[in-house]
Homo-oligomer: A and B are copies of this chain.
Amino acid sequence: MARVLTPRAEDFPRWYQDLIAKAQLADNGPVRGTMVIRPAGYSIWERMQAEMDARIKIAGAENAYFPLFIPESYLKREADHVEGFSPELAVVTHGGGKQLAEPVVVRPTSETVIGEFMAKWVDSYRDLPLLLNQWANVVRWELRPRVFLRTSEFLWQEGHTAHATEEDARNYARKILHEVYEDFMVGVLGIPVVVGRKTNRERFAGATSTYTLEGMMGDGKALQMGTSHELGQNFAKAFDITYSAASGGVEHAWTTSWGTSTRMLGGLIMSHGDDNGLRVPPRLAPIQAYVMVVKDGDGVAAAATKLRDALRDAGVRVGLDDRVDTAFGRRAVDAELKGYPVRIEVGPRDLAAGNAVVVRRFDGSKTAVPVADVVGRVLAALDEDQQKLYDEALAFRQSHTVEVSTLADAIAATATGWARVPWSAVGVDGEAEANGQGVTVRCLVRADGSVPDSQDEPDLVAILGRSY
> Which A residues are closer than 8 A to B by beta carbons?
27, 29-31, 34-39, 42-43, 45-46, 62-71, 74, 86-97, 103-104, 106, 113, 116-117, 120, 126, 132, 136-137, 139, 141-143, 152-153, 155, 325-326
Contacts and interface: CB of A to CB of B under 8 A. Distances in A.
Nearest to A138: B68
A64 B152 CA distance: 17
16 contacts: A29-B69, A30-B74, A30-B113, A30-B116, A31-B69, A31-B71, A37-B64, A42-B65, A43-B62, A46-B63, A65-B155, A69-B153, A90-B95, A91-B94, A92-B106, A97-B141
A137 B66 CA distance: 11
B136 A137 contact: yes
B93 A89 contact: no
Residue of A30, A66, A89, A139 ringed by the most chain B CB atoms within 10 A: A30
Contact of A141 (B36, B89, B96, B325): B96
B30 A95 contact: no
Contacts of A106: 68, 92, 106
A139 B31 contact: no
Given A29-B113, A30-B71, A106-B106, A95 B65 contact: no
Nearest to A66: B36
A364 to B, nearest CB: 28
Contact of A95 (B27, B71, B141): B141
A88 B97 CA distance: 7
Contacts of A139: 68-69
Nearest to A91: B94
A91 B89 contact: no
Contact of A143 (B27, B38, B96): B96
B93 A94 contact: yes
A29 B92 contact: no
Contact of A66 (B29, B90, B104): B29
Question: Which 8 interchain pairs have the tightest Cβ spacing?
Answer: A96-B141, A39-B62, A34-B67, A29-B67, A37-B65, A91-B94, A31-B69, A95-B141
Given A39-B62, A67-B34, A153-B68, A27 B117 contact: yes
A120 B141 CA distance: 25
A177 B92 CA distance: 35
A36 B64 contact: yes
B92 A87 contact: no
A36 B89 CA distance: 21
A158 to B, nearest CB: 14
Given A63-B43, A91-B92, A68 B137 contact: yes
B92 A96 contact: no
A371 to B, nearest CB: 28
Contacts of A137: 68, 136-137
A93 B34 CA distance: 16
A415 B331 CA distance: 62
A238 B155 CA distance: 29
A120 B29 contact: no
Given A27-B120, A94-B103, 7 more contacts: A29-B113, A30-B67, A30-B70, A36-B64, A39-B63, A95-B141, A97-B141
A369 to B, nearest CB: 30
